[in-house]
Homo-oligomer: A and B are copies of this chain.
Amino acid sequence: MDSFKNTADSSTEEKIKAAARTVFHKKGFAASRTRDIAEEAGINLALLNYYFRSKEKLFVLVMIETLTEFFGSVSVIINNPETTFEEKIEQFAAGYIDLIFREPDIPLFIMSEIRNNPEQLLQKVDIRNTVFNSVFMQQFTEAMQQGKIKDQNFLHFMMNFVGLIVFPFIGKPLLKAISGLTEEQFNMLIEERKKLIPVWIKAMMN
């Protein structure tokens, strides 16, 4: 039977996974030490291997969970049959910015780690269908056929849209260094973008 301290987030296994998440997200796989993770989790180093066998297996687990969270959360928005194309754009921008606000290390983490073995990591999470069979894409195509937006490549559109959302977080250290922005000022700037990005994107499409 489960004892009180052995459930949910308080279990040792979850503590290690959460710590691994934090450390991996911040430093990446290569720069993360299993000892860092153990210390962050407040457990003995051997326990990490007891529960997860190896650093790499633990990493893959974290990566899958991260990708699932990161792409799963949009899936709900872009596949909602109740909302219009324009509404999706607004919800997508605001929802994604909120998500990244909570976990600002994720974008750079995903981009830099996937570069090493892209297919091996990505095949475990089906992102392709999430995006290309989405209601969002159907509505994009319809809008184009009806002449509501210019004739354009969906890939360009997605690159632009996601780029406008994600890039400031990836470039944050650089931006702060060259602009002298404080953390609070940066956050305010990003907050503004929730409303601005949909406006910009619509301007680009027409």
Interface size class for chain A? Answer: 35 or more
A111 to B109, CA, bound (A): 11
Which residues of B lie under 8 Å from residue A180 when comparing CB positions? 128
Interface residues of A (CB under 8 A from B): 27-31, 108, 110-112, 114-116, 118-119, 122, 127-128, 131-132, 153, 155-156, 159-160, 162-164, 166-168, 170-171, 173-181, 189, 192-193, 196, 200, 203-204, 206
This chain's copy number in the assembly: 2
**Bound Cα distance A196, B156 (Å):** 9
Q: Pick from B112, B118, B159: contact of A108, CB below 8 A.
A: B112
Instruction: Tell me the complex Cα distance, A21–B65, Å.
Output: 33
> Looking at A118, A171, A192, which has the most chain B CB atoms within 10 Å of its CB?
A171
